[in-house]
Structure 1
Amino acid sequence: MKEQYKILIADRNPHVREFLKREMEAEGYDVRLAKNGREVLTWAYHQEQIDLLILDLNLPDENELRIPEKLQDRIPALPVVVHGFFSDYADQPDIFNKTSVFFVEKKGNSVERLKQLVSDILQDSDQVCL
């Protein structure tokens, strides 16, 4: 039986959160949701282990660039897929220089690119663990 991965999705927009949840559950993932930075850190630090985080950095209660930094300090192996608008981060390219931070731009058919990237990351992590 294939392992069911746990994914945390964090986006300030409840419609985007629910849409991504439906899409990822259809792919067979166990999905949790967070609406702000505090919930992301609570899930990552104190709840059950998650295998991957899909994160819109523009959360209402957290400095957007601090979440990946905080996660890298405490959970460096946690893959983070930033799902946002590239223009929001074009002047801060160093955020994507971390080994476990990836980027998918929100536009057009980004959900398909997002699903493929998530699958690739989790499959690669399985191969590393073998």
Structure 2
Amino acid sequence: MKKEFKILIADKNSNVRDFLKREMTAEGYIVKLAENGREVLKWAYHADPVDILILDPDLPDAEESLLLKKLNLKTPYIPVILHTFFSDYIAISRIFDPTVFIEKGGNSIEQLKKVIAGILNKTSGADIKKGN
């Protein structure tokens, strides 16, 4: 039986969230959405967490550095794809080292699909444990 992977998409822009959800659902993933930092942390620490997080950290109600520090505690469990603008990535990369950075832009969806498939293919069948 094929594992159904869950993806969390976190972006303050509802159009971006909806577009990414449509594209990822078409790829066969189960998609959860977060529009603020509180929802990101809820899913990150949920008893049945997501398999991967697509994150634009410029979220309402979240101080970026605090959100990212809390996510750092879970990133051994949850791979994080930082999907934001390069200028934002430069500032964020000082406090957070994502699994992958993909710059937002016209063709970023195809790049996201390839990266997600690659990450999930590596981790399917292997448990990701903190510290490994």
Give TM-score, length-normalised by structure 2. 0.86
- Whether 1:112 aligns to 2:125 is no
Task: Tell me how far apart the structure 2 counterparts of residues 87 and 75 of structure 1 sit (CA, whole Å).
Answer: 22
The Cα shift of 1:74 comes to 4.1
Task: Tell me how far apart the structure 2 counterparts of residues 103 and 65 of structure 1 sit (CA, whole Å).
Answer: 17
Deviation string for 1:45-89 (max 9, x for gaps)?
A: 135221001111100111123323212224522101110001123
Task: Tell me how far apart the structure 2 counterparts of residues 117 and 107 of structure 1 sit (CA, whole Å).
Answer: 15
User: Can you give the 5+ residue segments of structure 2 that lack an aligned partner in the other structure?
Assistant: 128-132
Instruction: Report sequence identity in percent.
Output: 53
User: Can you give the 5+ residue segments of structure 1 that lack an aligned partner in the other structure?
Assistant: none
Task: Tell me how far apart the structure 1 counterparts of residues 26 and 102 of structure 2 sit (CA, whole Å).
Answer: 19
Task: Tell me how far apart the structure 2 counterparts of residues 89 and 49 of structure 1 sit (CA, whole Å).
Answer: 25
Q: How does 1:14-93 map to 2 (within 5 A)?
A: 14-46=14-46, 48-74=48-74, 76-93=76-93
Q: Which one has the bigger helix percentage? A: 1
Task: Tell me how far apart the structure 2 counterparts of residues 37 and 90 of structure 1 sit (CA, whole Å).
Answer: 20
Query: The residue matched to 2:45 in structure 1 has which SS?
Result: helix
Q: In structure 1, which of residues 62, 81, 101 is the aligned counterpart of residue 99 of structure 2?
A: 101
Give TM-score, length-normalised by structure 1. 0.87
Alignment RMSD (CA, Å)? 1.8
